[in-house]
Structure 1
């Protein structure tokens, strides 16, 4: 297949090739948001990848960016790291990967070391509420791109946010179950100390309220405070939660919304330990659409994140620009609900017509 050229991207976006080049090289201080959005859309639609050799000849060096994820123990972060690295190599850029376990002190150490080694652009994926632990480095010129974390009022002006709408995602997952007839829907997560998880939980609550169900009356397993996030232990978190939710204390749920797919798969394993059948006795919905979601038996209903597009956007913002102190921006993308066999009407109810494995856009589901 012929390589897509910068001229084709420019034509699709209705701009000049030099304008596209300015965006790819971080020269966007005078570019209006609508122009940036048209170029981003054209790049994603055409599958454009900048010419690596040409960039190296122009700059005379290979740039390096940092990527700090919670833990590659969760396959979602491994997939995101791969997508970012593939895109980075195409433009002659290297990626240094760090696992922070969402620990602010550990993040600080990694960022300081990367900064001292000359790395000026970092993609940060922890989604912690505050960036205060990195404020001085940002003020000194660190180009910080936060991934899966909505922009906050207290964030430094130069910070860029690339995220899906987690609130809508949680709403989609939960409203799918309530539409099937589930009236006892549990939420399962590790600590709710990160903004992306809080967004998903709030979407869950909104969907229940719209269905006439009191969220406070629902069985939930979502520790607060200093409880570990469980990124590495997500499957075990889900397994333990399922056992506790079905311990016989109180009314057991007929449906479970999990904060991510690994937690959801852990729930499925825990339910199987108890002799229950996922998709028949209990419905389970995950979040992320990792590769294991479609391979599990039964295949997992989940909320999909467009990680290839998100990785491309994060890379474009993290590469060194002429002015790393230019104002940042916030990009909020659409999640999709992928319906598979792990979700069905409650046992004993009248079955509804089911759709197969399909993707449903989620930005119109919540106003």
Structure 2
């Protein structure tokens, strides 16, 4: 049977004083003598008294809890972003309520509604790949909850946002492949619903156009998702072409690793016959043979800055219509899966 939590009233009854006296002592009031404070604090410790957090949150109009919704928790990318968030909010006395949408628009709505009901103080959201309608974000914002969108942009929805310059990262990667002498550069892209996929594809296209390379539809393959299995299926289509590509820029490292496995299975040499570049620079990328050239993203800083903006909004009760749009810069990390520049 669950033991009842000790209350201020229980302490007051034990010492034959008023509950208000107990409350003042617990809150270090100057109107209570040090001797009496010590007696009350010693008893509170002895009886395992702890403040009622729900009551305190109602009194202060703050729960000190922040809601975080991400597409998935287990991936290196989002777990690293969450680490950044946690490290920033922990020193401010906030706790996180973390949930994953599993790339489901409906689940994202349900999770945010549930978090709003328990009165989290604010939201940090990375939208699902199927989120193309932002009415639920507008509803949350209209209800007075501070909201920061991170990683994936929501075009047309006004809010504080923190993203990585996916376009720049993709442009760097493809221009590097051109500088190494590659002529038929393919791209395995992600869902068109994702701002990250759109920006990386645009970086790929503009790098080709800038260098007077033709844009060939047959060299652009759209994956069903962002998994290694999708990389295998998409790379198979590219290998089946009459003239296979001599380089492939992949939407992320998982797709690149899937592509690498089928390339090697077919006996094609990396990078002698096909150069391969990923995006994210996940830790395992450097341990494959050949090690994977990839675009590094400042993921931890992404989470850290997103949390800082949300905390700033809570501290200053933001009412301004001006929103921050922060863009972090990625860097190309060159390894063995791509040719050297001549």
TM-score by length of 2: 0.75
Quote the Cα distance in structure 2 between the aligned partners of 1:238 and 1:196. 17
CA contact (8 A) 2:85 2:303 kept: yes
Aligned to 2:301, the other structure's residue is in SS state: helix
**Corresponding residue for 1:110?**
111
* Unaligned residue ranges in structure 2 (runs of 5+): 1-59
Quote the Cα distance in structure 2 between the aligned partners of 1:329 and 1:133. 20
CA contact (8 A) 1:124 1:144 kept: yes
**Corresponding residue for 2:326?**
331
Number of aligned residue pairs: 278
Note the C-alpha offset of 1:276. Answer: 2.1
- Residue correspondence of structure 1 range 72-151 to structure 2 within 5 A: 72-126=73-127, 128-150=131-153
Matched, 1:340 2:335: yes
CA contact (8 A) 1:288 1:303 kept: yes
Matched, 1:187 2:220: no
RMSD: 2.2
CA contact (8 A) 1:120 1:141 kept: no
* Residues 18-75 of structure 1 deviation map (CA, whole Å, 9 limit, x = unaligned): xxxxxxxxxxxxxxxxxxxxxxxxxxxxxxxxxxxxxxxxx89872212222223532
Quote the Cα distance in structure 1 between the aligned partners of 2:274 and 2:291. 14
* Residues 293-316 of structure 1 deviation map (CA, whole Å, 9 limit, x = unaligned): 122222211111112222111011
Quote the Cα distance in structure 1 between the aligned partners of 2:275 and 2:339. 6
Quote the Cα distance in structure 1 between the aligned partners of 2:201 and 2:273. 23
**Corresponding residue for 1:276?**
268
- Residue correspondence of structure 1 range 58-77 to structure 2 within 5 A: 63-77=64-78
CA contact (8 A) 1:184 1:218 kept: no
* Residues 77-127 of structure 1 deviation map (CA, whole Å, 9 limit, x = unaligned): 222222322333233222222222332221111111111111132221127
- Residue correspondence of structure 1 range 1-367 to structure 2 within 5 A: 63-126=64-127, 128-150=131-153, 152=155, 154-156=156-158, 159-222=159-222, 228=224, 230-231=225-226, 234-247=227-240, 249-319=241-311, 320-326=314-320, 327-344=322-339, 352=342
Note the C-alpha offset of 1:264. Answer: 1.1
* Residues 197-216 of structure 1 deviation map (CA, whole Å, 9 limit, x = unaligned): 10010000000111211223
Instruction: Name the stretch that deviates more: 175-184 or 212-221.
Output: 212-221
Cα 1:254–1:306, aligned 2, differ >3 Å: closer, same or farther? same
Cα 1:183–1:88, aligned 2, differ >3 Å: closer, same or farther? same
* Unaligned residue ranges in structure 1 (runs of 5+): 1-58, 346-350, 353-367
Cα 1:90–1:181, aligned 2, differ >3 Å: closer, same or farther? same
Aligned to 2:268, the other structure's residue is in SS state: coil
TM-score by length of 1: 0.70
- Flag the structure with higher helix content: 2
CA contact (8 A) 2:89 2:95 kept: yes
Quote the Cα distance in structure 1 between the aligned partners of 2:317 and 2:331. 35
**Corresponding residue for 1:45?**
none
Larger Rg: 2
